[in-house]
Amino acid sequence: MDSNWDQAVIPNAQPFPAALFIGDSVTTGWQAIEKPTQRWTSLLCQALGWREINLGIDGLGFFARRGPALPDGTRAPAVANTELLKAAVRLQSQVIFVSLGLNDAAFLPSHAAQVRKAIWADLEFLRTCSHASVVVCPYFPTLNGSRFNAVNTMIAQACSQLDLIFTDCLTDAIATSAEPARLAIDSMHPATLGHALMSQAMLDFLAKLAR
């Protein structure tokens, strides 16, 4: 067989690094953008030449919608449900971004203890079972609200105790911006501009981390 022919048709494999994202509707880009490539996760991967694995699920949290299916089509909350996390680990990405917490705020203060346990269980599982670098990056449109701030503090404390990378950069990108177009009409989800701001904020954070 002609060796030149072999070289012409057999692709030269490029080991593109894979980044996996576990998140909620902010990670899926829910209704606030025109196409998936405008979400912050996709913009980040495009900028860095990474392959995106997006495991975002609308309404997901560390505690929210992690349990069995309910008759209305939603899922019950649960602590230490590792079904999604096991799938994430099996995909063998080089880095895992965890952007959860926004939907857990609705369960405070009545279920604060369960939310705290759920946060710890998820992050401890990833710390123990995954060989990927884990970056924990919750998103809240603001930290002025007591419940948002409480959940963010729980996440930061767990990361500190587990020696995981934690950053507020996604929240800061939105909360510190004066651009009204950064948020969708619900004042909760980032719009196209908001996703761009968040992507740039994460790029800046990762650049500092690499120094």
| Residues 120-148 as b or e (16 or more Cβ within 10 Å = b) | bbbbebbeeebebebbbbbbbbebeeebb
What SS3 class is residue 11? Answer: coil
7 in any annotated domain:
no
pLDDT at residue 82, rounded to an integer: 96
Domain contains 24: yes
Between CA 185 and CA 12 the distance in angstroms is: 46
Task: Estimate the crossing angle of helix 112-129 against helix 83-90, to 10 degrees.
Answer: 20
Q: Which residue has the tokens 């939603």?
A: 74
CATH number for the domain harbouring residue 178 = 3.40.50.1110
Q: In terms of residue numbers, what domain contains 179?
A: 18-210
Q: Is residue 59 part of a domain?
A: yes
Q: Is residue 11 in some structural domain?
A: no
Position 14 scores a pLDDT of 66
Does a structural domain hold residue 6? Answer: no
Residues of the chain with pLDDT under 70: 1-14
| Helix/strand/coil for 138 | coil
Residue 5 in domain: no
**Residue 61 CB neighbour total at 10 angstroms:** 25
Q: What is the pTM of this model?
A: 0.92
Question: Is residue 32 a contact partner of residue 190, using CB atoms and an 8 Å limit?
Answer: yes
Condensed to tens digits (0 to 9), the pLDDT of residues 11-45 reads 556 678 999 999 999 999 988 899 999 999 999 99
pLDDT tens digits along 115-127: 999 999 999 999 9
- Can you say whether the dihedral through the CA atoms of 56, 97, 166, 85 is positive or negative? positive
The pLDDT, as a whole number, for residue 73 is 86
Residue 70 token pair: 């309910």
Secondary structure class of 131 (helix, strand, coil): coil
What DSSP state is assigned to residue 75? Answer: B
Residue 51: its pLDDT value, please?
96
Q: What is the pLDDT of residue 134?
A: 98
Specify the number of domains making up the chain: 1
CA 133: distance to chain centroid? Answer: 13
Residue 145 domain-assigned (yes or no): yes
